[in-house]
Amino acid sequence: MKNAIKKITLVLILFLSTGVATAQEKGLIISGSLIEQETKQPIPYATVVLKDLDTANVFVGTTTNDKGGFRLATKEKDFLVEISFMGYATRVISDFKIENSVLDLGTITLESESQSLEEVEIRGEVSKTVFKLDKRVFNVGKDLSSTGMSGLEVLDNVPSVNVSIDGEISLRGGAGVQILINGKPSVLADESSNALGTITADMIESIEVITNASAKYEASGTAGILNIILKKEEKKGWNGSVTANTGYPANHSIGLSLNRRTDKFNLFTQLGGGYRSMPRFSESRNFNKITEETISSIGENYRNEAFFNITLGTDYHINDYNVLTLSGNFAYEMEDQPSETSFEYTDGNGDLISSWTRNEVTDAINPKWQYDLNYKKQFKNNKEHTLQISGLGSFFGKDQSSDFTTREVNGLNLNGDQRTATNFNKQDYTFKADYINPMTKFFTLELGSQYALNNVANNYLVEDFVGGEYVTDQNQTNNFEYNQKVLGVYTTGAYERGNWGVKGGVRIENTDLSTFLVNTEESNDQNFTDFFPTLHTSYKVSDKLSFQAGYSKRIYRPRLWDLNPFFNISNNFNIRAGNPNLQSEYTDSYELTSIYRIGKASFSSSLYHQYTKDVIERVSTIENNTVYVRPYNVGSNSKLGFETNGKYIPTKWLTISADFNMNYFDRKGDFQNQTFDFSGSQWSLGITPKIKLPYDIDFEFTVKTQSGYETVQGETSGYTTLDVGLRKKVLKGKIMLNLSVRDVFESRIRENFVSQDTFENYSFGQRQRQIAFGISYGFGKGEAMNYTGRRR
């Protein structure tokens, strides 16, 4: 009996030993997800390594994926986990619990290096740019000079982005930028008006700069994509912030943000309203080389706006895996645009023939609304396995009337009294579906589609005062109809292992575009299908050096105001109009980026090449001393550029941020028997030092320089501007006092020269210095102007 027990015991020991050996052979699985401490956003492509407890030798390593998740295996028993990423303090984890050969580290937070240099109570104050595989995320809310800004002005503070005084947005010096709100087209980003002016800086959480997008994003925008992320709190309980701003010229606004989070619901709302005045000085000169006659003008105009904006929404957490979001936005603007322009008409000898003054009184109301329904499902097998379906609808309207009166000063009056009326309606609908499936621990598949519909009607009436009554001018009156439908489908695959990752995809888009001029019965119908391949890869050499590379093909479809032959007659000797026969332009974009750290400084540098064909250029022509500016497709543009962004934190009280961009371009093309072949360059530089002063006071200033550059018909001048900001914290950050001055020396200008065989044109524009003071108060669990709640 004893022998039998011994034999059974021996068999059990051998069996258990075999089981343990087998378990050890299978190894230990370690997993987790990485987020940023301040914004709660995932951190992709961070380094995760296992090190020996005694020697610090590395056993095995990997990088986090797009969602910040990671997974690796080891046969080692005694180790520590070290997580690092450029710009963040390294995190070491040595205290953990292993269950059933699985180590789940859960959600891990990383703190930015700039935060670790500061006192606890002022963490999260420094704005920074976070670099991801196919985009850069610029956190806006902490900029001192953003006090009282509109969304358009905030964009101008983002590295690589430039906004002209006319509101034209360029990225790395190129037009054709796609603007998104929370990842989708939006009425708030509509180019048909100053829509971004209804968004105030304190409503914006971050801006994503996407210069080389993956196939997941729609292919519009040859220069790239700017995605504006609006704030939405999700801290449990009541949270909120109220902000008030005032400034000169008149810039007064008040905003309220409220959030209520329960186990099932997250209710959020934002309200904003205010009044602003935007004075602008302008000057122009048309010289006819054939007749040697000159018409010059000088004037000042105002764009006064009263606006109101409200956003309401709710997240309904059906269960742990399903969330339904419904939100709506309504904005309303009331415009008043008075102006006065003085004209002079001189002959070839410089003698004055006539002079007169033209006054404009314009009033408009602009209602805007938008609704958005979104459903997101997370699958139980993996939280990164998701399905998201959304529908969005929006409307923008404009009811505008203008009266133009002239007063003779000397000689003949070349202008008569006129009046115009505009009735504009734009309706957009977008339907999206996105599916993400991490099929293995190394490979992720994405599938999706989008269907966008844009319908516009613009009824424009021009009347001339003739013989004591107003008579319709049939040459300038038109009713323009614009309809565009774009259907896109895409797929991407991402493979990530160790320090290396690659992501490839293709997007197919069918465009159905039709325009119709009702008065003349002119139509232009286009239907075409395009393939847009993308490829991105990354490799991490060390904790201090990593590389990213990408390729994408993009399209810039002519937008409404590019196509609409609408005449703006505010100055009827310098007229801008659209061209309904425009074709789309296409760009092949290549980019190589390095992210590296030297001591207390971190940098991101990119070398990029863009080749664009059928480039849309605004070309000037002259008829009867009147200069017309219309867009045309003119040849190709090959651009080679270099861009670098950096941050240096030498001490606790000083942070220096800078960005530099330079590109060389080679233009080739012909237009109306003229050859536009030339080469040129342009560059921009921005430097922002931020200084921490005693008594919880922060001071910063930004110097920004934009170089001049050659155009197809002449040249555009450069400029240098200075913005300054001052912030005082009260009650440990519950109250913020802000003072900012934009364009201190009023040096931000728009100056263009056009020189052709038959004429010359000079135009100049300038806006006034802006001073703003703001106060913010955070209540509940919120902080003034500091939205750091978890985003879902």
Q: Could you tell me the domains of the chain?
A: 27-111 (2.60.40.10), 131-780 (2.40.170.20)
Residues 6+ apart with CB under 8 A from 21: none
pLDDT score, position 762: 95
Sheet containing strand 28-36, edge to edge, reads 69-74, 28-36, 102-110
Strands 574-576 and 626-633: parallel
pLDDT score, position 785: 37
pLDDT score, position 98: 79
> Token pair of 304, please?
């006064």
Closest CA to 158 of 130, 188, 198: 130
Residues pairing with 375 in the sheet:
324, 389
Dihedral (CA of 785, 789, 790, 791) sign: negative
- Eight-class DSSP state of 184: B
Write out the H or E segment, with its range, that includes residue 153. Answer: helix 151-155
Token pair 């983002």: residue:
158
Residues 6+ apart with CB under 8 A from 336: 302, 304, 305, 362, 363
Phi and psi at residue 164, to the nearest 5°: -75, 170
Residues 6+ apart with CB under 8 A from 726: 144, 697, 698, 699, 738, 739, 740
In whole angstroms, give the CA distance from residue 241 to residue 735.
10
- Eight-class DSSP state of 789: P
pLDDT score, position 612: 95
pLDDT score, position 88: 73
Residues 6+ apart with CB under 8 A from 16: none
Token pair 């590109």: residue:
663
Phi and psi at residue 2, to the nearest 5°: -65, -40
In whole angstroms, give the CA distance from residue 99 to residue 30.
11
pLDDT score, position 311: 84
Alpha-carbon distances, residue 678 vs 142, 682, 706, 762 (angstroms): 42, 14, 21, 21
List, for the chain, all residue ranges whose pLDDT scores fall below the cut of 70.
Answer: 1-26, 38-39, 53-57, 66, 86-87, 112-134, 140-153, 156, 162, 164-168, 172-176, 184-203, 221-223, 231-239, 261, 412-414, 567, 732-733, 780-792
Dihedral (CA of 384, 106, 137, 588) sign: negative
pLDDT score, position 343: 93
| Residue 134 near residue 501 (C-beta atoms within 8 A) | no
Write out the H or E segment, with its range, that includes residue 338. Answer: strand 322-346
Token pair 């070491």: residue:
92
Most distant CA pair in the chain, distance: 132
> Token pair of 508, please?
């197919």
* Backbone angle region of 87, left / alpha / beta, with phi > 0 → left and psi within -120 to 50 → alpha: left
Q: Which amino acid is at 383?
A: K
Residues pairing with 334 in the sheet:
306, 365
Alpha-carbon distances, residue 70 vs 107, 446, 545 (angstroms): 11, 18, 20
- Distance in angstroms between the alpha carbons of the first and the last residue of the chain: 65
Token pair 């049939």: residue:
474
Exposure string for 112-144, b = 16+ CB within 10 A, e = fewer: bbbbebbeeeebbbbbbbbbbbbbbbbbbbbbb
| Residue 679 near residue 664 (C-beta atoms within 8 A) | yes
* Backbone angle region of 414, left / alpha / beta, with phi > 0 → left and psi within -120 to 50 → alpha: alpha
CA angle 150, 373, 212 (to 5 degrees): 60
Alpha-carbon distances, residue 174 vs 155, 211, 396, 610 (angstroms): 15, 11, 27, 10
In whole angstroms, give the CA distance from residue 638 to residue 588.
10
Length of the chain: 792
Token pair 């007749």: residue:
291
Q: Which amino acid is at 516?
A: F
pLDDT score, position 150: 61
Q: Cβ of 231: how many Cβ atoms within 10 Å?
A: 22
Residues 6+ apart with CB under 8 A from 522: 516, 580
In whole angstroms, give the CA distance from residue 590 to residue 175.
17
Dihedral (CA of 16, 21, 26, 32) sign: positive
pLDDT score, position 611: 96
CA angle 536, 541, 542 (to 5 degrees): 130
| Residue 312 near residue 289 (C-beta atoms within 8 A) | no
Whether the full predicted model's pTM is greater than 0.85, yes or no, is no
In whole angstroms, give the CA distance from residue 226 to residue 191.
14
Phi and psi at residue 186, to the nearest 5°: -150, 150
Alpha-carbon distances, residue 517 vs 289, 520, 528, 560, 660 (angstroms): 34, 6, 22, 13, 45
The Cβ-side half-sphere exposure at 491, using a 13 Å CA radius, reads 3
Closest CA to 171 of 711, 682, 751: 682
In whole angstroms, give the CA distance from residue 230 to residue 242.
16
In whole angstroms, give the CA distance from residue 725 to residue 741.
6
pLDDT score, position 728: 86
CA angle 697, 703, 708 (to 5 degrees): 165
**How far is Cα of residue 129 from the mean position of the Cα atoms in its chain?**
13
